[in-house]
Amino acid sequence: MSSLKLTILGCHSATPRVNAHPTSQYLEINNKHFIIDCGEGTQRQMRKYKVGFSKIDQIFISHLHGDHFFGLIGLISTFGILNREKPLHIFGPKGLKEVTLLQLRVSKSYVKFDIIYHELTSKNSELIYEDEKVTVHTIPLNHRVYTNGFLFSEKQKNRKLNPEMIQQYPEIETCDYHNIKAGKDVQLQNGEIVKNERLTLEAAKPKAYAFCSDTAFKPDIIPIIKGADLLYHEATFLEDRIDLAKKTKHSTAMEAAKIAKEAGVGKLVLGHFSSRYKNEELFKTEAETIFNNVTLAEAGKEISL
Amino acid sequence: MSSLKLTILGCHSATPRVNAHPTSQYLEINNKHFIIDCGEGTQRQMRKYKVGFSKIDQIFISHLHGDHFFGLIGLISTFGILNREKPLHIFGPKGLKEVTLLQLRVSKSYVKFDIIYHELTSKNSELIYEDEKVTVHTIPLNHRVYTNGFLFSEKQKNRKLNPEMIQQYPEIETCDYHNIKAGKDVQLQNGEIVKNERLTLEAAKPKAYAFCSDTAFKPDIIPIIKGADLLYHEATFLEDRIDLAKKTKHSTAMEAAKIAKEAGVGKLVLGHFSSRYKNEELFKTEAETIFNNVTLAEAGKEISL
């Protein structure tokens, strides 16, 4: 079973259009469920693509341009209407707390659950979230306002039981499995020690997903995202408008592909397309000139690893 | 040609869903163009139903519940991206200015055009907008927060030229038409006075549209909206949940119909339906038991008078 699934909820830049939704993603990783960025209309896209509202306990906001956070207040408000009680953690730049609290106050929409704000200010990569299954580090980006990408990493997993080998030792009981998966050897009644490696198989390699939007070409993120299985990198422009990319601190498809190649990632997802391009296949074509495994973001697209 | 056209952009209560958009309307009256309420996703609905962004100079917000204003900041921001230069007037409760300015500030989305806030605090009906063609008065409503409906009225129109009669007086020239339409008599060269009534036809009766959402049943709005050609009145519930209507300060379809009947309006549009009702036709059926001309709001529906 796949332990990492990314669902694109929206992947276009600037203003929402009928068939172009601003940035938002739903990430399932090692049975944890996260929303990344929250452009206007995110909650509608979540409903459209059957994202369970009650599964979300953490929301990560890259930066405070409207196309990445104007949908946050509506989502928070809807959590309230749905009688949410458990806390909601919001990670994002300083300012998010003030702006959401003011909106809740003027609309007298006091919600019953706690909102715990983790306001980010560091310009260095830092660990901002950790539980028993996953870590999240920031990826400092270079945009017109303070911006972070996020690296979501599965923790090292337990080794898997090897059923064939275990059957050879009838005295090993089900209640021992937990210790064996955690790496312990087994001592039999006759005193014999059975080494853990004999009873278990390699753990699945932990997966990692790097989200990088919005940013100018920034090669110094490469050490942070090195070897990630999946990289979403913004590609607002093609090389034909690299002047505009530089001016607005965005990337071209070519630049995104360079990052993917240098970082040795498994797969590259491009998004944040400018509406000036009618044929989005050109983003793929341009990136594929230097990196093989490229796919285009598209609302509703699921990418499972 | 119709001088009043209402386009429903969204008409459901509470949270946006895939096919249920929160309150927003586009009104064309006497060649003026207004947006009324601005739930999340309004700008996308405007694009979907081909509302010209550059025509909008006034936005009216009834109250500060999220389903009536969370889409405002995105629309303002998009006006900025579209390089709007002319001023935008926003009419609504106190608080709107603080909340939109803070959002623009944290997102560093300073717009080039002036936003002129007309913050409302009066509990009595007042004239809040007037130009050469239209007036807008508030309709104080009774909801959980400070709320106004809006009465949009065409001004008395000029009488129309009667071409047949004018042809009988060859010495009347095109340049005289302006004065004749404005009601003046004409003096011929022989001194004869031709009375205006002889040269003109009755002016078209000025039309009026009353928007009333959200509100508990409030009969004291009747004198304000008396004789309006079109009334939009919220009907969040049916009579089966009048308890909930009273508790949440909303109306039933029956109550909306009572207001329509007592005010002698031409046509009643119902909207703001709660998602608990799967069959919205029931709202029409209930209202029609006491008022004849009822239609249901629906995203994309145009009502021309």
Average pLDDT over residues B212-222: 97
Distance CA A45, CA A35 (A): 12
Residue count (chain A): 305
Q: How many CB atoms lie within 10 A of CB A167?
A: 9
Q: Are B142 and B112 in contact (CB under 8 A)?
A: no
| ipTM of the modeled complex | 0.88
Asked whether the predicted pLDDT for residue B216 surpasses 80, the reply is: yes
Distances (CA, A) of B24 to A265, B44, B71, B256: 45, 11, 9, 19
Distance CA A93, CA A189 (A): 58
Average pLDDT over residues A6-12: 96
**For chain A, which domains are there?**
4-157+204-304 (3.60.15.10), 160-201 (no CATH)
- Which residues in chain A have their CB less than 8 angstroms from residue B66's CB? 73-74, 77, 103, 107, 109
Give the pLDDT confidence score for residue B230 in this predicted structure. Answer: 98
Q: Are A275 and A13 in contact (CB under 8 A)?
A: yes
Asked whether the predicted pLDDT for residue A40 surpasses 90, the reply is: yes
Distance CA A74, CA A69 (A): 10
Facing residue for B66 by CB, picked from A41, A73, A145: A73
Q: Tell whether the torsion through CA atoms of B163, B168, B174 and B176 is positive or negative.
A: negative
Three-state DSSP class for A294?
A: strand
* Structural tokens at position A109: 């929409």
Q: Are B77 and B105 in contact (CB under 8 A)?
A: no
**What confidence tier does A260 reach under pLDDT thresholds 50, 70, 90?**
very high
Give the pLDDT confidence score for residue B20 in this predicted structure. Answer: 87
Q: Tell whether the torsion through CA atoms of A161, A162, A167 and A171 is positive or negative.
A: negative
Q: Which residues of B touch A (CB under 8 A)?
A: 14-18, 40-41, 43-44, 47-48, 64-66, 69-71, 73-74, 77-78, 81-82, 95-96, 98-99, 102-103, 106-109, 144-145
Give the pLDDT confidence score for residue A78 in this predicted structure. Answer: 95
Asked whether the predicted pLDDT for residue B1 surpasses 60, the reply is: no
Distance CA A142, CA A133 (A): 29
Q: How far is CA A290 from the centre of its chain?
A: 24
Give the pLDDT confidence score for residue B176 in this predicted structure. Answer: 87
Residue A82's Cβ-side half-sphere holds a number of Cα atoms within 13 Å equal to 16
Q: What is the pLDDT of residues B118-150, one digit of tens each?
A: 999 999 999 999 999 999 999 999 999 999 999
The torsion of the CA quartet A99, A102, A108, A110, rounded to 10 degrees, works out to 60
Give the pairing type, strands B88-93 and B115-120: parallel
* Structural tokens at position A112: 């019953």
CA-based nearest residue to A280, from A70, A6, A5, A13: A13
Asked whether the predicted pLDDT for residue B284 surpasses 80, the reply is: yes
Asked whether the predicted pLDDT for residue B54 surpasses 80, the reply is: yes
**What confidence tier does B157 reach under pLDDT thresholds 50, 70, 90?**
confident
Distance CA B44, CA A31 (A): 33
Give me chain A's average pLDDT, please.
Answer: 95
Q: Where are the alpha helices (DSSP H) in A72-123?
A: 72-81, 96-106
Nearest chain B Cα distance for residue A281, angstroms: 24
* Structural tokens at position A276: 């000036």
Q: How many CB atoms lie within 10 A of CB A301?
A: 16
Asked whether the predicted pLDDT for residue A69 surpasses 90, the reply is: yes
Give the pLDDT confidence score for residue A131 in this predicted structure. Answer: 96
